[in-house]
Amino acid sequence: MVLKTADRGNIPPFIVMEVMRAAAMRERENKAVYHLEVGQPSTGAPSKAKMAAKAALDGDKLGYTVALGIPELREGIANYYKDLYKVSLRPENIVITTGSSAGFMLSFLAAFNPGDRVALVAPGYPCYRHILKLLGVEAVVMEAGPNERFQPTPDLLKKAMIDGPLDGFIVASPSNPSGTMLGKLEMQALSDFCNMNEIRLISDEIYQGITYDMTPHSALEFGDDAVVVNSFSKYFSMTGWRLGWMILPDDLIRSVECLAQNMYISAPTLSQIAAVGALDCRDELDANVVRYAKNREILLNELPKAGFNNLAPSDGAFYIYADVSNMTDDSVEFCARILKETGVAVTPGLDFDEGRGHQTMRFSFAGDPQEIIMAAKALQNWDR
């Protein structure tokens, strides 16, 4: 018997997860693997998060919470933004989500209808366009290069509007995969353009907190109409806890609440309790960023010695994006060969840029410094 299946699942895979699977298979064969593929901190949850979770396990029933999240966490996030960005938020505008992934799904569902047009830049996080596709929303891809520092500009948005008006626009600073950031003037210009053209701005800020040479800016500094998506996975080092948050304009709060009630009920209660403690661990978390900075320096110094000379600026996050057009025209095969022949797991650029990613790749330096050093040596010794 052959049963009908839905077409919406016919979307490209998240290739980095395929690389992780191949790396895991190699590890099961007791072969060395150096993990430079996945954007996952090698550090664990901060101390006060674990303490809060342990206390909750001992004394809390851990039932459902309201769909928007526990009050103390929403209040804590509001204080966090006031401290970092001098932005005053109402806790009522903050929604706790099951990771940033749920935040993107909820914001896209609440803000866009099938047939709407949403602009995003390539290279960029692939799941934006994959989720938009399965929702019937057109992803309008704008190709950004070194001249734009792999970031969107008002000029690129104008070109994206040639074929019709835009209903939405997704921006990420720091960016995955390039690690580049937008300065204050650049973010202001994009916010102003969206306001003038009635475009819904969605700002992915999940790597904020992990920055090196530039000051991060939230879209909320330039207006209260933007949707901000953030996460406890990256700076807060809590990937497996599956917890994120959104900051919403007033007109989306009720629709997101109803969607969240029906799709998720609530974010994990234990994770929410732990996250309240995590907000009070800034010194510990900033020490993690110091380690990322050392890893970044290692790769920026050592990758050119292995022939990887054309690297994007790495202003933030924990990624280095490389142009490898002088080495390959098939980044998927190239990265598979690197894993097989050196044990270094890296991500092909095709994950992030369907048009040009066959000649690019991404290195993650979120791991242990010693592993980064060993990976660099393996690449330098590779006889390709």
Residues of the chain above pLDDT 90, percent: 89
14 has a pLDDT exceeding 80: no
pLDDT at residue number 359: 97
* Amino acid symbol at 56: A
As a whole number, mean pLDDT of residues 189-193 equals 98
The residue extents of the domains of the chain are 7-44+283-380, 47-281
Q: Say if strands 244-247 and 227-231 run parallel, antiparallel, or are unpaired.
A: antiparallel
In Å, what is the CA distance from 52 to each residue of 46, 75, 277, 282? 10, 17, 6, 16
Distance of CA 25 to the CA centre of its chain: 25
Q: What's the token pair of residue 266? A: 């609530």
pLDDT at residue number 60: 78
* Amino acid symbol at 287: A
CA distance 368 to 144: 31
pLDDT at residue number 193: 98
pTM for the whole structure: 0.94
Q: Where are the beta strands (DSSP E) in the chain?
A: 34-35, 94-97, 117-122, 138-143, 168-172, 200-204, 227-231, 244-247, 310-311, 319-323, 344-345, 347-348, 360-364
374 has a pLDDT exceeding 80: yes
Instruction: Give, as one character, the DSSP assignment of residue 384.
Output: -
11 has a pLDDT exceeding 80: no
Q: What is the mean pLDDT of the chain?
A: 95
pLDDT at residue number 256: 98
Give pLDDT tens digits for 338-356: 999 999 999 999 889 999 9
CA distance 139 to 101: 17
Give pLDDT tens digits for 113-170: 999 999 999 999 999 999 999 999 999 999 999 999 999 999 999 999 999 999 999 9
Q: Label residue 247 by pLDDT band (50, 70, 90).
A: very high
384 has a pLDDT exceeding 80: no
Q: Label residue 4 by pLDDT band (50, 70, 90).
A: confident
| Domain 7-44+283-380 top-level CATH class | alpha beta
As a whole number, mean pLDDT of residues 59-71 equals 93
As a whole number, mean pLDDT of residues 263-283 equals 97
Q: Say if strands 168-172 and 360-364 run parallel, antiparallel, or are unpaired.
A: unpaired
Which CATH number fits the domain 47-281, given the four candidates 2.60.40.10, 3.90.79.10, 1.10.10.60, 3.40.640.10?
A: 3.40.640.10
CA torsion 241-247-251-255 (nearest 10°) is: 0
